Chain A
């Protein structure tokens, strides 16, 4: 059941009504029931993995909270619990890395190892709930959260169904009050949730899936669709992946809002970022924060990294010594994130190592940049400078996406070189033809193009407002009814008319849905 399917809404609407029909105190139980049903509908054959994960987290946390007397004991319990959780995740999602790597090495030495891969079914949202439970265990270890005594409450925290599809990664201390406190019916929650779902559907079904046709076409033959078409293709992919993932988040957050449960934001206008570290603070926010809190900071605080810092200061001076452990810890963080994105060398490099290189270079060169801009007397608080910085950030991200779109890491060089050649007229015509799924009349083409451009401008305007700190949902709700209805129905009509759904059309899976 994908969250853009009719089945999902058939599930969502009655469950919302039932939720508010339940007495306030037990509404969280109804959420647990809906989540369990959703989970079983999607992954009933492998639900025991989920039971295993939650039982480990439950007893691990309770052991730490109630039985462990020393910090060492606690550390052993938290490490063992996390190892078991991650072990299951690794087994189900990344086990094939081992035979693939061995086979690849075998090929290098002309040995035909032919080690077979294993096909294991992973339950829905395993990456997301594993990270959430990992965070919960660490929070209990740090005593920033108390061990939950009610197993069912912990189970709801782990399997809250809007989060199962593509996150966000939630944290127990933040979600405790949201999930378990009595939630009265507040109409603004219902309306704002609904508006957000419609906006998310527009982004996903119309924008992302329409652009996906171009992206697929371009990257099916980068030699043919070279030069400007290839650049356009990767730029479209940037918009596609953003609309896909943030659209999914809008649906998820909107659906959750219907129950009055506010989930953490995962996107905050990333394309307006001035630099890459700001970009990563605004893109997949919950993963970034999770990585910082549960990987980066523990590493930096660890004795070995402290020692490394002291050693670096002595050897290379204060500045470098200070940055050395940070750069190394960030390498570990990005390596994990790269691996999480895909268990192949390509993803490891594109989603892990390249961002690390960017970040390290910006850390190392930040002083030089500062001095250079002072010497050149650049006005850094102007719109034009902000625009320059945003374009630069996006271009750097396009390199990452170009690598992820290349068939393999080996092909990246070829794909990059194709950026600097010119496509044939036939390729240009074919590229323009991918605009539609049916043979277009002029009227159709004009209306579709108009809707596409208007929707993209709308998404940009909303992001711009968000970047300025405006709460768009609340502001929209304060507008006159006529305006609200006009915008809402314009979006609904665009989705119905041009959305990629139904038989004969192949809507793309959520790009982040596979994790």
Chain B
């Protein structure tokens, strides 16, 4: 026994060290919108989602899963992070399929348009967009594979701090929040199923974007799209690519025309909702807070239109009376409260702007 005591000492130390390290890693994570949405997905009940809407802010300030639940009985989650890059879609879909078997995955197509650095509203791959998504993902082979394939190639950075984000965020540890502990314990749930409230409003201009011309995306972006489509083929999950309403311009539309042809050519749906703004009932003077994003008023209109479309076109079931989904009702009081508060705040902003004029 004496002979094995030192080994035991080393093993005990290593175990305690790993435990401490993992705890500190979770306490170090900065708590922002993105990490809440990405990590909150793990809090969803297993096999409880019929629709998962993946994208950046063009998804999580647009689609309100709890409105879709309350009014259409659709069990859904909006999953993504700010300035998301399309190369992350495959990783996120893999993460989704670990615990859910959704009938439909909706992917925000705007990410393909802004990825190329010479596009007008370029948001090319960079450290921040990658970290926005990766910070919330649990360490798994899926996450490791993404880092291995993209960090150092798509962005010029060292991989290590993406695997171990404590290297980047360790000085946050003393400022840990309740959410950090919930994420550590695996009990964190997003209160609004991924939706993010923004208390802003600004009138915007609607541009004439109608064109049938096509502008190719870069070879790199096209390869990512092709790879994603091939991956979707292998999973058998149905997928719909969407462009949520914004101040779309002709140059953007040409890119969407190009990628929609690729997507539809592979048998997947593509919808540019900018062509349906009248049907949705969007008011450009009221329903936006900047050229790229809608307010909660706009989000409600968009969600209703999309939810109705999903039930008609994809037969997404109404689970409102299914007792297995009662947990979604528990989120409604909090949702209603925050929705009302945000609406009031926006009305106040508009009134103040009117008074100032």
Please give the residue numbers on chain A whose beta carbons come within 8 Å of chain B beta carbons, in ascending order.
6, 187, 190-191, 436-438, 441, 443-444, 447-448, 485, 488-489, 492-493, 496-499, 501-505
Q: Which residues of B in the span 1-55 have a Cβ within 8 Å of any Cβ on A?
A: 6, 9, 13, 16-17, 20-21, 24
Q: Mark B189-221, 1 if CB is under 8 A from A, else 0.
A: 000000000000000000000000000000000
Q: Is B173 an interface residue (CB 8 A)?
A: yes
Complex Cα spacing A352 to B171, Å: 40
Q: B171 to A437, Cβ gap below 8 A? A: yes
Q: Which residues of chain A are within 8 angstroms of B323 by Cβ–Cβ distance?
A: none
Shortest distance from the beta carbon of A496 to any chain B beta carbon, whole Å: 5
Shortest distance from the beta carbon of B27 to any chain A beta carbon, whole Å: 9
Shortest distance from the beta carbon of B126 to any chain A beta carbon, whole Å: 13
Q: Which of A190, A489, A497 lies in contact with B170, CB distance below 8 A?
A: A497
Please give the residue numbers on chain B whose beta carbons come within 8 Å of chain A beta carbons, in ascending order.
6, 9, 13, 16-17, 20-21, 24, 157-158, 160-161, 166-168, 170-175
Q: Which residues of chain B are within 8 angstroms of A6 by Cβ–Cβ distance?
A: 160
Complex Cα spacing A190 to B6, Å: 10
Shortest distance from the beta carbon of B167 to any chain A beta carbon, whole Å: 3
Q: Which residues of chain A are within 8 angstroms of B20 by Cβ–Cβ distance?
A: 489, 492-493
Knowing A496-B24, A503-B161, say if A489 contacts B167 (CB, 8 Å).
no
Q: A489 to B16, Cβ gap below 8 A? A: yes
Complex Cα spacing A499 to B172, Å: 12
Known: A191-B9, A496-B166, A503-B167. 13 other contacts (CB 8 A): A6-B160, A190-B6, A437-B171, A444-B174, A485-B16, A488-B13, A492-B20, A496-B21, A497-B171, A498-B171, A501-B167, A501-B170, A502-B170
Work out how many contacts link A and B, with CB atoms closer than 8 A: 54
Complex Cα spacing A502 to B21, Å: 15
For A6, give the chain B residue with the smallest CB separation. Answer: B160
Complex Cα spacing A488 to B13, Å: 10
Complex Cα spacing A339 to B20, Å: 46
Knowing A443-B174, A444-B175, say if A497 contacts B24 (CB, 8 Å).
yes
Q: A interface, by DSSP: helix, strand, loop or mixed?
A: helix
Complex Cα spacing A489 to B160, Å: 23
Complex Cα spacing A224 to B172, Å: 30
Knowing A187-B6, A498-B171, A504-B168, say if A493 contacts B24 (CB, 8 Å).
yes
For A444, give the chain B residue with the smallest CB separation. Answer: B174
Q: Which residues of chain A are within 8 angstroms of B161 by Cβ–Cβ distance?
A: 502-503
Q: Which residues of chain B are within 8 angstroms of A438 by Cβ–Cβ distance?
A: 171-172
Complex Cα spacing A480 to B288, Å: 65
Q: Which residues of chain A are within 8 angstroms of B17 by Cβ–Cβ distance?
A: 489, 492
For A437, give the chain B residue with the smallest CB separation. Answer: B171
Q: A499 to B170, Cβ gap below 8 A? A: yes
Shortest distance from the beta carbon of A350 to any chain B beta carbon, whole Å: 34
Q: Which residues of chain A are within 8 angstroms of B170 by Cβ–Cβ distance?
A: 496-499, 501-502
Closest 3 CB pairs of A and B: A502-B167, A444-B174, A187-B6
Knowing A187-B6, A492-B17, A493-B24, say if A436 contacts B171 (CB, 8 Å).
yes
Shortest distance from the beta carbon of A444 to any chain B beta carbon, whole Å: 4
> What are 23 residue pairs bridging A and B, where the CB atoms are less than 8 Å apart in the complex?
A6-B160, A187-B6, A190-B6, A191-B6, A436-B171, A443-B175, A444-B174, A489-B16, A492-B20, A496-B24, A497-B24, A497-B170, A497-B174, A498-B170, A498-B171, A499-B170, A501-B167, A501-B170, A502-B167, A502-B168, A503-B157, A503-B167, A503-B168
Complex Cα spacing A497 to B175, Å: 11
Complex Cα spacing A499 to B169, Å: 11
Q: Which residues of chain A are within 8 angstroms of B24 by Cβ–Cβ distance?
A: 493, 496-497
Q: B167 to A447, Cβ gap below 8 A? A: no
Q: Which residues of chain B are within 8 angstroms of A496 by Cβ–Cβ distance?
A: 21, 24, 166, 170, 173
Complex Cα spacing A489 to B14, Å: 11
Shortest distance from the beta carbon of B131 to any chain A beta carbon, whole Å: 10
Shortest distance from the beta carbon of A68 to any chain B beta carbon, whole Å: 50
Q: Which residues of chain B are within 8 angstroms of A191 by Cβ–Cβ distance?
A: 6, 9
Complex Cα spacing A504 to B128, Å: 13
Complex Cα spacing A504 to B30, Å: 15
Q: B171 to A503, Cβ gap below 8 A? A: no
Complex Cα spacing A337 to B178, Å: 55
Shortest distance from the beta carbon of B279 to any chain A beta carbon, whole Å: 47
Shortest distance from the beta carbon of B233 to any chain A beta carbon, whole Å: 37
Shortest distance from the beta carbon of A490 to any chain B beta carbon, whole Å: 11
Shortest distance from the beta carbon of A44 to any chain B beta carbon, whole Å: 21
Q: A448 to B174, Cβ gap below 8 A? A: yes
Q: Which residues of chain B are within 8 angstroms of A443 by Cβ–Cβ distance?
A: 174-175
Complex Cα spacing A499 to B28, Å: 13
Shortest distance from the beta carbon of A319 to any chain B beta carbon, whole Å: 59
Q: Which residues of chain A are within 8 angstroms of B167 by Cβ–Cβ distance?
A: 501-503
For A495, give the chain B residue with the smallest CB separation. Answer: B170
For A447, give the chain B residue with the smallest CB separation. Answer: B174
Q: Which residues of chain B are within 8 angstroms of A441 by Cβ–Cβ distance?
A: 174-175
Shortest distance from the beta carbon of B193 to any chain A beta carbon, whole Å: 30
Shortest distance from the beta carbon of A283 to any chain B beta carbon, whole Å: 32
Shortest distance from the beta carbon of B272 to any chain A beta carbon, whole Å: 39
For A485, give the chain B residue with the smallest CB separation. Answer: B16
Q: Which residues of chain B are within 8 angstroms of A485 by Cβ–Cβ distance?
A: 13, 16
Complex Cα spacing A61 to B68, Å: 86
Shortest distance from the beta carbon of B343 to any chain A beta carbon, whole Å: 32
Knowing A190-B6, A485-B16, say if A497 contacts B173 (CB, 8 Å).
yes
Q: Which residues of chain B are within 8 angstroms of A190 by Cβ–Cβ distance?
A: 6
Q: Which residues of chain B are within 8 angstroms of A444 by Cβ–Cβ distance?
A: 174-175
For B167, give the chain A residue with the smallest CB separation. Answer: A502
Shortest distance from the beta carbon of B285 to any chain A beta carbon, whole Å: 38
Q: Which residues of chain A are within 8 angstroms of B157 by Cβ–Cβ distance?
A: 503
Complex Cα spacing A489 to B15, Å: 12
Shortest distance from the beta carbon of A333 to any chain B beta carbon, whole Å: 44
Complex Cα spacing A68 to B271, Å: 93
Complex Cα spacing A6 to B173, Å: 20
Complex Cα spacing A229 to B16, Å: 42
Complex Cα spacing A244 to B307, Å: 62
For A439, give the chain B residue with the smallest CB separation. Answer: B175
Q: Which residues of chain B are within 8 angstroms of A448 by Cβ–Cβ distance?
A: 174
For A498, give the chain B residue with the smallest CB separation. Answer: B171
Shortest distance from the beta carbon of A359 to any chain B beta carbon, whole Å: 43
Interface centre among A190, A437, A502 (most CB of B within 10 A): A502
Complex Cα spacing A501 to B158, Å: 14
